[in-house]
Chains A and B, each alone.
Chain A
Amino acid sequence: MNKEQQFAATPEKKQHVQWIHITKRDNISFQKGLLIRAIAILAALVVCAIITVVFTGSNPISVYGTMFKGAFGKGRFLVTIHNLSILLCISLAVTPAFRMRFWNIGAEGQALIGGLATAIVMFNLHSKAPLWVLIPLMLISALVAGAIWGVIPAIFKAFWKTNETLFTLMMNYVAIQLVEYFLKIADKNGSNSVGPYLLGDGIPNLFGVQYLFNILVVVVLTGLLYVYLKYSKHGYEISVVGESENTARYVGINVKKVIIRTMILSGLLCGLTGFLIVGGASHAISSNSVGGQGFTAIMVSWLGKFNPLYMILTALLIVFMGRGADEISTIFGLTKSFSDIITGIILFFIIGCEFFIRYQIHFNHRKKMTEEKEEA
């Protein structure tokens, strides 16, 4: 006691008081996690509303009314659902890799190369082969192309530990230039997109509803992937490798095999997305066909905790904000990029709020500390 008082008295030995102390939470109740996320999204919506009001001068409630109409209004609903399913599909594709902590940020390129393979098949065969031959051919070539694009970085990662983030990133731009090459060969006029006049009509509408084929495929895929990741042996192996490669090796999992197999799956599903985009929706290809969704998917998957069911919600949020902001920019004559700003802000808030879910903050009040000391 005496010594302590002496320490406190000498000015050089000023005791360092930490105002904030951060600890890792062991687990957080589902409701509390949900509450924190809800607060973050609400805060983001408020900030976005303020920004929108500044640029448009209309009141925030009508702004969100407009956004809602833009996303779910008459004639919009189907397109929104289709956008949602494409974004969800590519997010599902990257998820197995992410659960393994393999940072596949090459989904953009893998989907694009799948789309390119689809387009090449359509370009060469659309007038020669019947649909029941054409569509399976399109699908298979897209899957194979996507898988190849995904497995190349995986092989190097598995055998030589080559940095997969940078590798997959670079592969995107190789894919983009390959598409440009195809465009220049397919269309002698040098246009930057090749449409149905050269590719044919692709997948017909199911029951007369546009996009229904794509939507159904993604619905089935979501369920399948959920089961695969959660209840299959493969899914379990992926999780173990993601937690710790050493543990995986110790329990006898062939890590190299898991990495390569999972990236084949990831690339395969990206290729499927490309097939859906080119064959099932636009019937056209350009270097912008995937339109950055390969990158957005990374955020959707991460925000959804790599869980296919949560990812439906995060994808919906992003698609809703994008479509809504587009509507606002058209009505108020703002530039199209407005939706990117809004999406960015929402993402920042959700990314930031994860901290409060994973960690707990304790505030140390000076009063309390001195009291504790006196007690001692």
Chain B
Amino acid sequence: MQLIAAFINRAIMQGTPLLFGATGEIVTEKSGNLNLGIPGIMYIGAISGVIGAFFYENSGYFIPAVGIMIALLSCLIGSLLASLIYCFLTITLRANQNVTGLALTTFGVGFGNFFGGSLIKVTKSEVPYLSLSDTGNAFSATLPFAKSLGWFGKMFFSYGFLVYVAIVFAVLASLFLNKTRMGLHLRAVGENPATADAAGINVSRYKYFATCAGGMIAGLGGLYFIMDYMGGIWANDGFGDRGWLAIAIVIFAIWRPALAIPASYLFGALYILFNYLPLPMPMIPILQMLPYVITIVALVITSIRKKRENQPPASLGLSYFREER
């Protein structure tokens, strides 16, 4: 039981950045914007939070609650600015979404590693990473009674607050998309912007709103990974390809935030499964290939079955110009 509890615990912690990224990307894609810049935005969100926390920690005194607020705020601002670059280029200037997104990912990963690397140099540390243990501890603080509840506490209560925030966001996004009028409008914009426009919906405003909100949610995923999962340690390229996994989850969860919750934890579990199985070394990459393979299978199955409610938003990846029919 202890081992299973520990495994589930790690899987959920691995899945949380993916859940943030996937929720953000779903909200974005529902507006018809295929934001392939999400991996970059997650890097930018993470490093912005790190920069904020770095200056606060070096200012002399440290109050955990303030540290959390500063890291959160700078993370949100960073990812908002990055999303605005994408919005401006694809919505206002109607640039190609794939190209813009990939450029943003190049930029974002470079941005993260550049400032991360520069901060490491500033601290003149001998190890190739930057440690913000105070903020890290503040982020990963768990409920006080978690330890006393044994395996039950470990499975459900032994996480930093962002793990629960991720779940709340996914549920809220699901409610927003399916139960509110604004959510309906947003989906209309993603399915057929011309019709939405004719119905009096401000297409650009919805696209901007969804892409920026989605980017900010995704940015929190990057921050969670550094502050909670890594305990406040930034290492260059440490975030890895999790951004792309988040995009994979969007497909696997057939564009539903509620389904993204179990999907993220499943992918998180697959990510760390090799630690718990007695596998020969060469088999580890095969295991890590699984998330992508099952995503492909899910994509193929949804497209062959052609169930209308399981399709990607119909105008996904296309920019909208009113006078172009």
Chain A residues proximal to chain B, CB less than 8 Å: 22-24, 103, 105, 156, 160-163, 165-167, 169-171, 173-174, 177-178, 180-181, 184-185, 190, 292, 295-296, 298-299, 302-303, 333-341, 343-345, 347-348, 351-352, 354-355, 358-359
Contact = CB atoms under 8 A, between A and B. Distances in A.
B282 A166 contact: no
Given A22-B323, A156-B303, A160-B303, 10 more contacts: A105-B36, A170-B296, A174-B292, A177-B292, A178-B285, A181-B286, A295-B105, A338-B114, A347-B103, A351-B96
A299 to B, nearest CB: 5
B312 interface: yes
Contacts of B304: 160, 162
A46 B112 CA distance: 22
Interface stretch (B136-144, B208-216, B244-252): B244-252
Contact of A103 (B108, B110, B285, B317): B317
B109 interface: yes
A170 B103 contact: no
A160 B98 CA distance: 22
Label chain B's interface by main secondary structure: helix
Contact of B281 (A23, A161, A184, A359): A184
A347 B95 CA distance: 12
Interface string B77-119: 0000000010011000111101110111111111111101110
Contacts of A105: 36, 98, 102
Interface residues of B, number: 57
A24 B322 CA distance: 11
Contact of A23 (B94, B285, B296, B323): B323
Contacts of A292: 106
Given A302-B96, A341-B111, A347-B103, A162 B281 contact: no
Contacts of B109: 337, 340
Contact of B296 (A22, A160, A171, A347): A171
B99 A337 contact: no
B100 A335 contact: no
Interface of A is mostly: helix
B102 A295 contact: yes
B4 interface: no
Nearest to B100: A351
Contacts of B114: 334-335, 337-338, 340-341
Contacts of B100: 348, 351
Contacts of B292: 170-171, 173-174, 177
B95 A344 contact: no
13 contacts: A22-B323, A24-B324, A173-B289, A298-B98, A299-B102, A335-B116, A340-B111, A341-B110, A344-B107, A345-B107, A347-B99, A347-B107, A351-B96
A156 B96 CA distance: 24
A355 B95 contact: yes
Contacts of A184: 281-282, 284-285
Given A156-B303, A167-B296, A185-B282, A177 B103 contact: no
B6 interface: no
Given A337-B114, A351-B89, A24 B299 contact: no
